[in-house]
A and B are shown apart, each in its own frame.
With several copies, the nearest count.
Chain A
Amino acid sequence: MDVVYFAWVRERIGVPREQVESEAATVTDLVAELSAREERYAAAFSDLSSLRVALDQELSDFEAPLAGVREVAFFPPMTGG
């Protein structure tokens, strides 16, 4: 699946988008998997309460299942307007 990052999450991870091969069942599982791979993920995902997640461009939550999802987005709380 594609994983995309915005704002300081993007800056900490160092790329705006990447393809990830994963069998993670939920967003939380994906976060754990990525955090275990490299320190930069662990740093970006250290406080999930300051993160938001969207699945296929719809706001979602960390317990949501990933089956069938093509794009996962991680970002801080939005500051539009």
Chain B
Amino acid sequence: MQVRVQQEGFDLGAESDGFAARVSGVGAIVTFTGVVRDADAGGLVAMEIEHYPAMTQKALEAIAAEARARWSLADALVIHRYGRLAPGERIMMVATAARHRKHAFEAAEYLMDYLKSRAPFWKKEILTDGRAGWVDAKADDEDALSRW
């Protein structure tokens, strides 16, 4: 299991290859990559991601360990960035590997749902017109946790 919290970018291809090369006996590998997209109203200059360094690594490891146990994953990977990111930059990725596709998909969605609402990150959108605002947590994201 690998959990990394970092400011620098990551290489999606190399991470995917490395993850796939490390697992054996699996039939299914799922990756999810989160990308900074433009604000819903447009005009995004940057996304600033703040986190709680003393807590982040520990919180992500607990989430990944829970997913791994629950779906008997062969392995799980979580990478999450912080700092200032431009539109189109990759924010984070997860990867899961399991014998069956349903388990790999479910575990990846579980990781994403928990990262969204239980990992100590906060996003601020910086807009072209000079405004800036913290992204509100969505009720949908909180509700998503209830399915697990």
Residues of chain A touching chain B, judged by Cβ–Cβ distance below 8 Å, are: 4, 6-8, 10, 54, 57-59, 71, 73, 75-81
Asked if B52 is at the interface (CB within 8 A of a chain A CB), the reply is yes
Bound Cα distance from A7 to B135, whole angstroms: 10
* Known contacts A6-B50, A54-B120, A59-B118; is-contact A79 B55 (Cβ 8 Å): no
The answer to whether B116 touches A80, judged by C-beta atoms less than 8 angstroms apart, is yes
Residues of A within 8 A of B112 (CB): 81
Residues of B within 8 A of A78 (CB): 116-122, 137
Residues of B within 8 A of A75 (CB): 52, 120, 122
The answer to whether A6 touches B120, judged by C-beta atoms less than 8 angstroms apart, is yes
The answer to whether A6 touches B52, judged by C-beta atoms less than 8 angstroms apart, is yes
Q: How far is the CB of B116 from chain A (nearest CB, A)?
A: 4
Bound Cα distance from A71 to B120, whole angstroms: 15
The answer to whether B34 touches A79, judged by C-beta atoms less than 8 angstroms apart, is no
- Please, what's the 1-or-0 string for B52-69, where 1 marks a CB less than 8 Å from any CB in chain A? 101100110000000000
Interface size on B, residues (CB 8 A): 29
Bound Cα distance from A8 to B134, whole angstroms: 7
Asked if B92 is at the interface (CB within 8 A of a chain A CB), the reply is yes
Q: Could you list 30 examples of A-B contacts with CB < 8 Å?
A: A6-B50, A6-B120, A6-B122, A7-B50, A7-B124, A8-B134, A57-B52, A57-B58, A57-B59, A58-B55, A59-B59, A71-B54, A75-B122, A76-B122, A76-B137, A77-B136, A78-B118, A78-B122, A79-B121, A79-B122, A79-B123, A79-B135, A79-B137, A80-B80, A80-B115, A80-B118, A80-B120, A80-B121, A81-B116, A81-B119
Asked if B84 is at the interface (CB within 8 A of a chain A CB), the reply is no
* Known contacts A77-B137, A78-B117, A78-B118; is-contact A4 B52 (Cβ 8 Å): yes
Asked if B101 is at the interface (CB within 8 A of a chain A CB), the reply is yes
